[in-house]
Structure 1
Amino acid sequence: MSPLLGWGLAALAVVGGFLAYGWQGLVLAISVVVFWLLLQFSRALRVMRGAAANPVGHTDNAVMLQARLRPGMRMLQVVTLTRSLGRKVADDPETFVWQDPAGDAVQVVLARDVVGEVRLLRGTVATAAPPADA
């Protein structure tokens, strides 16, 4: 949801509550808005607490992560999927990387906290040495 839309709905609820029920409606509307903000804050803290338990820039499988990411997702949704904070590799545009144990990585380019581009970076494939002739 757009922040502008969310704050607009909150203001509409406060004004509507006051017009419909007076000061009791105003108090109820403000209580509902504060409760909604606390729910959003609690969700963000839960995601960050889960991400704090994992190494920065780590994902279990980069290919599966890349398949689940879509342009338009918010950074909090990406951190929820990876259960890890991304390793920042560039500032303009803001770019983060998550790498799996096999060496594959997913590069996510953000524009204003929204995923703009997702790239899968394949790791170098280790080639086995040819067997020595006896």
Structure 2
Amino acid sequence: MNYQKILVPAAGVAALVLAYWFYGWAGVAAAVTVLVMWALLHFNRMVQVLKRAANRPIGYVDSAVMLNAKLKPGMTLLHVVAMTKSLGALQSPKDIQPEVYRWTDGTESHVTCTFDGGKLVQHALFRPTQETPPPAP
């Protein structure tokens, strides 16, 4: 279960109650101001990430090998999009969990990432085999 969906609103309500308890209505006004500023900071970050990703092709990354090295389980989809500066190409059916996205580089190497509930569960790197030319006589 995703406790963040419960704990964040509960912490906001607790901050409002404590602000009223200690400072009255002026405390509530200050707490609301802090909570709105926090929400605006997160919204602004999301918009900036999506604005950068809008200018790149879907599913493209500069280096799939470097992306694979930077990925860690538990990262959010927004964090991965911020790293790649590109939206991933959706490989799974729309709105079905887990979601599978793929980022491909110029050498046809690609990283396939599986997200469950917006968090990275697993990732895999695929590198095409390169045929080596026979040695010169």
User: What TM-score do the two structures reach when normalised by structure 1?
Assistant: 0.90
Number of equivalences: 131
Q: Give the 3-state SS of the residue equivalent to 1:120 in structure 2.
A: strand
Matched, 1:110 2:115: yes
Residue 31 of structure 1: how far off its partner (Å): 1.0
Flag structure 1 segments of 5+ consecutive residues without an equivalent: none
* Whole-Å separation in 1 of the counterparts to 2:14 and 2:107: 51
Question: How far apart are the structure 1 equivalents of 2:98 and 2:14?
Answer: 36
- Give the alignment's Cα RMSD to 1 decimal: 1.9
Q: Deviations over 1:6-41 (max 9, x none)?
A: 222211111111111111111111111011000000
**2:91 match: secondary structure:** strand
Residues of 2 paired with 1:119 and 1:130: CA distance?
A: 30
Taking the aligned partners of 1:26 and 1:107, their CA distance within structure 2 comes to 46
Q: 1:130 deviation in Å?
A: 5.9
Of 119, 122, 129, 2:124 maps to 119
Match of 2:99 in 1: 94
TM-superposed deviation, 1:124: 4.3
- Give runs of aligned pairs for residues 34-113 of structure 1, distance below 5 A: 34-91=36-93, 92-113=97-118
Percent identity between matched residues is 36
Question: Which structure 1 residue ranges, 4+ long, deviate > 4 Å from structure 2?
Answer: 128-131
1:54-89 per-residue CA deviation (whole Å, 9 max, x = no partner) reads 110000000110010011000010001100000001
The answer as to whether partners of 1:103 and 1:124 remain within 8 angstroms in 2 is no
Q: Which range moved further: 4-13 or 89-98?
A: 4-13
TM-score (norm 2): 0.88
CA distance in 2, matches of 1:3, 1:122: 38
Distance in 1, matches of 2:6 and 2:77, equals 18
| C-alpha contact (below 8 Å) 2:61/2:86 kept by paired residues | yes
Amino acid of the structure 2 residue aligned with 1:26: V
The whole-number CA distance in structure 1 between the counterparts of 2:111 and 2:25 is: 52
